[in-house]
Amino acid sequence: MFTGIITAIGRVRSITPATTDRDSRFILEVPHGNAQWADLHAIALGASICCSGCCLTVIEAGTDWFAVDVSNETLSKTTLGQWVPGTPINLERALRVGDELGGHILSGHVDGLASVLSSTPEHGSTRWRFAAPPDLAGFIAPKGSVALNGVSLTVNEVDGALFGVNIIPHTEQMTNFGTLKPGDAINLEIDMLARYVARLANYRPNPQDPL
């Protein structure tokens, strides 16, 4: 589980394409001097790290890097299929019991790709507008929570499949939002509560289902 509070901007160091018997392997760099990532060389294999909104499993780690295997399913459903060496990545370590819950609860399971429509300066912040996939638009509500590239954000307004958020300068500096431009795809995770409320509202038991 994660909270959507980014603690470092990493970068893709290398990508080894998939073979017939192995998934693609990504090696991701972590910046030096970040206290929250200083023990990366000692991270447990099998640990989860949220990489621009996508929960990935550490299969190897060094002093300033870690490696993950990425399936074709993940490549096709997220922005990972567009990553190249040098791509900036929002990073967050898994939530531990007792940690501050500064954003909202995230699973790191990307629901779909939103499209960046525009970014407009607004006072001291920037108003960003996105288009959500039609099948996910109903899960996004004004003043609700949404995760974009793993960043926990509050929705300002919704107009059909279009929605907007405000990004303050600190968030832009501490995430890869500063590199986005209109037309880019971005990983979208809808609010977990909205997902289950919709499931409960639409569920109809089938009397023929086995008990």
What are the pLDDT digits (tens) for 75-134?
999 999 999 999 999 999 998 877 877 888 899 999 999 999 999 999 999 999 999 999
Residues 86, 126 within the same domain = no
Tokens of 190: 């809808």
pTM, rounded to two decimals:
0.91
**Does residue 102 fall inside a structural domain?**
no
The Cα–Cα gap between 144 and 154 comes to 6
Burial of 18 (0-12, 13-18, 19+ CB in 10 A): middle
**Does residue 204 fall inside a structural domain?**
no
**Does residue 49 fall inside a structural domain?**
yes
**Does residue 51 fall inside a structural domain?**
yes
**Does residue 105 fall inside a structural domain?**
no
Residues 130, 83 within the same domain = no
Give the domain extent around 116: 112-199
Encode pLDDT of 195-210 as tens digits.
Answer: 778 777 877 777 777 6
